[in-house]
Amino acid sequence: MISLPRSISVSKKINSSLPNRLPGSVNPVEIQPALTKALVSWFKKAARDLPWRHSNDAYRIWVSEVMLQQTQVKTVIAYFHRFLARFPTVNDLAHAPEEHVLHAWEGLGYYRRARALHRAAQSLVQAGHQNLPPDPSLLATLPGMGEYTRNAVLSQAHAMPLPIVEANSQRVLARILGVKDDPSRGPVKKWLWQSAAQLVCHKNPGTYNQALMELGALICTPQKPACLVCPARPWCAAAASGDPESLPLKSVRAQITKVSEICLACSQGPQQSRRWLLLRRPASASRWAGLWEFPHCEVPESVTPGKTMLDLALSLFQAPLPATTTTLGRVKHAITRYQVEMQVEVAHLKNQLQPTSLNHDQHQWFTAPQIVQLPLSAPQRRVWKLLSNLSE
């Protein structure tokens, strides 16, 4: 028997004053046996056929759980197959160059997940493991291994009775237990984790945890939950209230801010062997660290895109841009509360220029076949899609 480290031990005591709850809401312990039995039975009949459910291999489950963070299932499926084909084991992932891992992850976004997955695999192999062992204390030390991911892997791969709380299961738990509060509040989040620990079953913890998430994805949806066919309805305080969609309470969303950017795509050489200047983001960057990109910057307020482009060229080459530019198009993307529109300008340089303000490892001139193999962010890949027509 493996004891749980103090950092992830589960408390059997719940402060009944937290959070705010609907009148008559029950204690999780009172409904645990019947609720978990009903959810497991429902899941065995209604579960979607997803590739990571075909095996209890800890590595495959781990990769799927990391990919599924803030990403839809339908998007993850194709990436999961390609990633596992390229890195079929922990050992393969650990020994792969980071650039290859980032390239395989390209398009999924939140690249910090891929780098953490890579570093965690290296840590496991260095410690002599070929897979994720049933050791909560060890897994707690791995990069990117939060409580949810760790418990999801251990419950599904090693049948350890550990709770999970993520977006779908959080909503399901809040409605069943009548949580009339905002789950993003620290005390409420803590209470939900404690409640989840009381509800998780010991016989099929992995199946139960998946059922909880599946219920949130298919039945107990944010809008118009299908309460009439929900296996948890007999115990659900929100359904009994007649207004399940109102729970849990939602925090106010931040206002969307529009951002304008200019992208300066510089090329050299004849069309048959044209090379493009790309910069590599530093490893310390808060977003897209280590990925390659075409030079770009934000257009400040009260400054024209043309002036911003000239300033960008001057910052790169320490001299005015020795070429005229052509507006190729615009690329739009969203980052949290920002909506970004990037204007793409193309300049073909006749002289062999090198950015004087950058170190050699921060920039490089690439041909079209080389760019295809580079890890780029999704908006930068769309920039290249516009530019690639010029290289054909």
Characterise 110 by phi-psi region: left (phi > 0), alpha (psi -120 to 50), beta (else): left
Residue 353, pLDDT above cutoff 80: no
Residue 11, pLDDT above cutoff 60: no
pTM, two decimals, is 0.86
- Fold (topology level) of 257-391: Nucleoside Triphosphate Pyrophosphohydrolase (3.90.79)
Catalytic residue among 30, 65, 99, 293: 65
pLDDT tens digits along 50-77: 999 999 999 999 999 999 999 999 999 9
pLDDT tens digits along 244-291: 999 999 888 789 999 999 999 999 998 888 999 999 999 889 899 999
Confidence grade of residue 357 (pLDDT, cut at 50, 70, 90)? low
Confidence grade of residue 391 (pLDDT, cut at 50, 70, 90)? low
Examine the residue annotation and report whether 65 is marked as an active-site residue of this protein: yes
Write down the architecture of domain 23-246 according to CATH: Orthogonal Bundle (1.10)
Dihedral of CA atoms 297, 382, 338, 146 in degrees, nearest 10, equals -110
User: For the chain, where are the E strands, in sequence order?
Assistant: 257-268, 275-280, 292-293, 296-298, 325-335, 338-349, 363-367
In the chain, where the domains are located: 23-246, 257-391
